[in-house]
Structure 1
Amino acid sequence: MTDTRELTIGNADLYLGHGVWRRGSLRCVDGVIVEVSPERFPRGGGRHVDARGASVLPGFQDAHVHPEHGGSGLLGIDLTAVHDADRYLDLVRAYARSHPAEAVLIGNGWYGDLFPGGMPTAAFLDRAEAERPVLLNGHDGHSLWANSAALAAASITADTPDPADGRVLRDADGIPTGVLLDGAMQLVAGLRPEKTRRTLTDGLLAAQAFLHSLGVTAWADAMVGDSELSADPFEAYLELERAGLLTGRVVLGQWWERRAGLEQIERFEQRREAVRDLPHLSAGMVKIMQDGMVENHTAAMIDPYADIDDTGASFIDPQQLVRIAAELDARGFDLHFHACGDRAVRECLDAVEALRARGGGAGRRHQIAHVDVVHPDDLPRFAKLDVTANIEMLWARRDKEMLERKLPQLGADREPWQFPFGSLARAGARLAAGSDWPVSDPNPLWAIHTGMRRTAPSTDVHAIGDEARTHPLERQEGLDFTTALDAFLTGAAWVNRLDDVAGRLAPGLQGDLVVLDANLRTAPDLARVGVAETFVAGHSVHHGE
């Protein structure tokens, strides 16, 4: 991070926020924006940056991301850069050869659409490594691929029961095939090498560098606590902050442990107080996972799936969810629900409605993330209850996984209810944008493209299928450019409680900025626009090539 007291960015197409653009310049002193001017090159000291007519925006904010999980994935067996089953095996083999001392091999990022039936098998993974256990998290964060050595080491057999909040995939004879879904991933948790403070901080720093390279200056970590995917990164964040290494602004979404009770709120309060006066951290949000995902049949649906007689799982009993939400709200926490299925979305809305009916909710900023499927009756409830829809726009495209896996599960009648971003906006809902990285790529410009066009970005290696880039998924649900852009700016800043700090370009706000290498208003392809430089509080945290 470079340091300078004064920064001027000139010859820029400035996006001030809320649809307002201005050609000119801005100036920061001591990290704070002091002037937004129509002059192309105003006078002043310090560093001068020539934007060359490109767009300069407030730093993007990601309202739902998993930095430690994503960053650790970059440092382990990283499958995210390819979309080919045989290449997956090559990467596992290469890592295994170069890490002979590791007892268990850990990786991340596979896609199910590469395999027959939408899921890989232990037998296929055994071709890359048969001796040592291999655990590969799926890109979706809800599935884990294990080889036979891992299944054996964890004593997972035909007699192993499914947990209430997950499934062990099995063949026709009941034999586990190698994939564990949602809560079943806990069955192999004991095999994972214990993450040290060093490995956690390394993962967070790798994630921070990657997010800054995409112009992201603030984010909500949606999994701070011990979970089925990751060790608790809370102390690692504190260490980085105290060492002056944390440059992003981070909202710590404290993880609601479903197997515990209301007593865990005391720990949440202690952590919230511990970071209260730290410049880059806050901990006033609690993440509650109410269901799984549609593709695994673990999303909670009002009516049965089209391909099986099952409605998925509500991870928390709805009446208990009401009690949890009310207690957290009363103790000053913002609620960050995970809900993919229409029943889970309704249950979360019902919980907020119940606490508001009892006089709660004043000053709170509750949100529901993902909203894959929303029943039409529930669309107006977001605005009525002042619940923000936290949307992952990059998911709304007709790629192979969507066409061959998800749409057949939903059926034709529910296809129009999928990712109803346009309908939510027209119903008055506030929208905030997240990536859910490493579930999907955290590039905001890719997401904005898909949010508008409902097609995949041209540069996304995972956009597989003839229709991914050409046939919109429910085109009527596309957003206009300003609404999609603001979801990563003012919308995310609202739920992150950073709206008085960043998210717009205005005097008095922090100099959290991203200088792009092209003008967004004239660029023919948003997916090919890159980041020239990223600033947090006027300090450069990323400089492009």
Structure 2
Amino acid sequence: MHRTATSPVLRLLLGGAALLAIGAGPAPKGPTADLILTNARVYTVEEGQPWAEAVAIKDGKILAVGSAKQIAARKGAATKVVDMGGKFVMPAFGDAHAHPIFGGMSHARCSLHSGNTIEDYQRLIKACVDKTPGTGTIFGSGWNQTLFPPKGIPNKSFLDAVSKDRPLIFESDGHTLWVNSKALELAKITRDTPDPKNGTIDRDEKGEPIGALEESAMALVEPLIPAPTPADLEGAITYTARFFNSLGITSWHDASVEWDKNGSKALDAYQAAKARGTLTVHTAMDWHWNNDRGMDQLGDILKLSAKAKEIGLTANGVKFFIDGVIPQQTAAMLEPYEGTDVKGATQIAPDTLAQAVAALDAKGMQSHFHAIGDAGVRQALDAVEKVRGQNAAHDTRPMMSHMNVIDPADQVRFGKLGVAAIFQPLWACDEAYMRLTIERIGPKRSGYIYPANSIRKGGGLVAYGADWSVASANPLEGIEVALTRVAPGGTSAPLIATEAVTLEQALRSYTLNVAYVNHLEKLTGSIVAGKSADIIVLDKDLFRIPVQQIHQTKVLLTLFQGRAVFGKLDSVAR
């Protein structure tokens, strides 16, 4: 069924007016607030009544929203009242696609994120080697593929120049590892080593490995990477929560949680962080579907999901990796890459995917697809369509991430099938990685890059997630690009200007729509009575500044469940 503005799903998202008529009539009588934010420009993200002047909070929840006069009636003897001096207040952001543990660990280990040249990487890696005595592996992440033209494939020679005596292994985006000669030697990877299924050992013209391992080939050096300790994993979650809070984010969707036959160390780390009080975000999680296993893994996943529920965490999603990435030509395309006969390939058979999605749907589990090429997108949509034909009643809310290229015939299917489109808006602009993508797919298909507005106009729900730490997690940068299709502060031509969205649409995609895909829209995502008091204060009013200044806007205060987790209440008072 085609999803329109009057569909049940959108009525659920837009129905805040039914919960509270903001600013309509006298203030209700009732309990007094612990905290009142008043004299503010409050954008609620509730379409029925998007603006207010004040918010009352009690016991971590929003008690009332309305005019300053209305909310003043909620003041009691112990109420703290903060005059906002007209500052801009809105719901805290969510992130529909993040890797909190990977990201936290990547910054805790040997981080290359601050480097802008190969020489920078060598300097950063040398510093890691120097401060880590012994002969063990140096592992890190954060290198940029565009620094390795023409195909984004790095060479071991740059790492060998730093050290030939100990293995050096560095991850980029979860699809490629950059390794030195010592790592290849210890992993016994030679010219005679065959490419594994769904993986590539990049080689020179003589067949010798050059130091890049793609997709499943990364597993060949996995035994050399030091396993994180439980303290490392918990620390990564805590680091990410604090960092995200500083950006105004109080909910995330962990897009791929690792597990094995013995359970999930990641889930244990989440449980520890929650018990310690450092998990200052609402969390939804996806279990990583192992493409090398069959349906037998479903039982293990269901047990893990049940365990998560017992400890108060939401882990009802399963992440399917359908294909790879475009620069290395591992993303699955309907037609060959420009100037080649290579189409890439999907990593899971269509029938297997459809069977898995159907089985998960029957158990009330959410499917989440990593699909980048237009063929990968179609395969995922086809799997959902088969399930919809069997049972359209289950509210499992399948979601698909990345979708660098979507064939026009498939753009309308998101709304028809109820598949949420999870875009990384910061990528939808003229930047180095995108130029590499356009070179690979050619001019015609470059007209179908990140078609966020087309998906939305077709009735599809769009939510935003940064894919951090692959890209910046700052929602304010993403919002600007979503509106301009130009890099933050940039002056280049927009990347398909017709695919830009409005500010209201972008804010919804970073708040209420994230809550919806996380099955948490009754808890968070907008400022309305009864929801968690997840609220941010910005130093600029997004509706009253030039759009090119949005990325410069700063978060002054982040409240999670009514408690300041970034900034101080008194510092934002007039």
Q: Does 1:530 align with 2:554?
A: yes
Greater Cα radius of gyration, structure 1 or 2: 2
Partner of 1:422: 453
**Deviation for aligned residue 1:509:** 0.6
Determine the structure 2 residue equivalent to 1:83. Answer: 116
Residue 311 and residue 488 in structure 1: after superposition, are their counterparts in 2 closer, same or farther (change >3 A)? same
Is the contact between residue 326 and residue 360 of structure 1 (CA under 8 Å) also seen in structure 2? no
| Residue 255 (structure 2) aligns with | 222
Higher relative CO (CA 8 A, sep ≥ 6), structure 1 or 2? Answer: 1
The reply on whether 1:148 has 2:145 as its aligned counterpart is no
Once the two structures are TM-superposed, the CA of residue 252 in structure 1 deviates from its matched residue by 1.3
Partner of 1:98: 131
Which residue, out of 493, 505, 509, partners 2:515?
A: 493
For 2:393 and 2:332, the matched residues in 1 are separated by 25
Opposite residue 411 of structure 1, the aligned amino acid is G
**Structure 2 CA distance for aligned equivalents of residues 110 and 10 of structure 1:** 45
Q: For 1:1-150, what aligned pairs fall within 5 Å after superposition?
A: 6-19=34-47, 21-39=50-68, 42=72, 43-44=75-76, 45-101=78-134, 103-117=136-150, 118-138=152-172, 140-150=173-183
Higher mean displacement: 381-390 or 361-370: 361-370
Would you say the 8 A contact 1:53–1:518 is kept in 2? Answer: no
Distance in 2 separating the partners of 1:483 and 1:39:
27
Matched letter for residue 554 of structure 2: G
Q: Which residue matches 1:463?
A: none
Aligned to 2:7: none
Counterpart residue number, 2:327: 295
Distance 1:207 1:58 in 2: 19
Matches within 5 A, 1:152-171: 152-171=185-204
1:172 maps onto 2:172 in alignment: no
- Counting only pairs closer than 5 Å after superposition, residues 140-539 of structure 1 correspond to structure 2 as 140-226=173-259, 232-279=265-312, 281-360=313-392, 362-403=394-435, 405-458=436-489, 469-524=491-546, 525-539=549-563
Question: Do the aligned partners of 1:330 and 1:360 also contact (CA within 8 Å) in 2?
Answer: no
Other structure's SS at 1:208 match: helix
CA separation of 1:25/1:81 partners in 2, compared to 1, >3 Å: closer, same or farther?
Answer: farther
1:481-502 deviation digits (Å, cap 9, x = unpaired) = 1111111111111100110000
CA, structure 1 residues 27+165, in 2 after alignment: closer, same or farther (shift >3 Å)? same
Which secondary structure state, in structure 1, belongs to the residue aligned with residue 159 of structure 2?
Answer: helix
Aligned counterpart in structure 2 of residue 542 of structure 1, from 566, 570, 573? 566
Aligned partners of 1:33, 1:392: CA distance in 2, in Å?
30
Deviations 1:164-215 (A, max 9, x none): 2121111111111111111111111000112111111111111111111111
> Does the aligned pair in 2 maintain the 1:200–1:233 contact within 8 Å?
yes
Q: CA deviation at 1:226?
A: 4.3
Give the superposition deviation at 1:223. Answer: 1.1
Percent identical:
34
Contact residue 230 and residue 265 of structure 2 kept, 8 A: no
RMSD across aligned positions (CA): 1.8
Report if the CA contact (8 A) 2:46-2:527 is conserved.
no
For residues 308 and 287 of structure 1, do their structure 2 counterparts lie closer, same or farther at Cα, with a shift above 3 Å needed? same
Match of 1:100, as an amino acid? P
Q: SS of the residue aligned with 1:53? A: coil
Choose 245-254 or 94-103, whichever is displaced more: 94-103
The answer to whether the Cα contact below 8 Å between 1:452 and 1:480 also exists between their aligned partners in 2 is yes
Q: 1:226 to 1:86 in 2, by over 3 A?
A: farther
Range moving further from structure 2, 270-279 or 289-298: 270-279
Offset of 1:102 from its aligned partner? Answer: 6.6
Q: Which runs of 4+ in 1 moved over 6 A?
A: none
State whether residues 323 and 347 of structure 2, in contact with CA within 8 Å, keep that contact through their aligned partners in structure 1: yes
Whether the aligned pair in 2 keeps the contact of 1:18 and 1:482 (CA below 8 Å) is: no
TM-superposed CA distance for 1:308, in Å, is: 2.5
Q: Deviations over 1:429-472 (max 9, x none)?
A: 111111111111111111111111111113xxxxxxxxx64221
Report Cα offsets for 1:36-59 as digits up to 9, x if no partner: 122188344344444332221111
User: Would the aligned equivalents of 1:11 and 1:23 in 2 still touch at CA under 8 Å?
Assistant: no
State the 1:14 CA deviation: 1.0
Tell me the CA shift for residue 137 of structure 1: 0.7
Paired with 2:294 and 2:130, the residues of 1 have a C-alpha distance of 44
Q: Distance in 2 between matches of 1:256 and 1:51?
A: 47
Q: 1:131 to 1:469 in 2, by over 3 A?
A: farther
Partners of 2:483 and 2:116 lie apart in 1 by 25
* Amino acid across the alignment from 1:159: D
CA distance in 2, matches of 1:73, 1:180: 18
Kept in 2: contact 1:22–1:38 (CA 8 A)? no
**Corresponding letter in the other structure for 1:419:** Y
Residue matched to 1:462? none
Q: 1:131 to 1:482 in 2, by over 3 A?
A: same
Residue-pair matches, total? 526
| Alpha-carbon distance change, 96 to 52 in structure 1, aligned in 2, over 3 angstroms | farther
> CA offset at residue 305 of structure 1?
0.7
- Residues 169, 178 of structure 1: 8 Å contact kept: yes
SS in 2 for 1:541: strand
Using a 3 Å threshold, how does the CA distance of structure 1 residues 278 and 30 change in structure 2: closer, same or farther?
Answer: farther
SS at match of 1:107: strand
SS at match of 1:336: strand
Aligned partners of 1:50, 1:469: CA distance in 2, in Å? 38
Task: Tell me, in whole angstroms, the C-alpha distance in 2 between the residues paired with 1:441 and 1:418.
Answer: 20
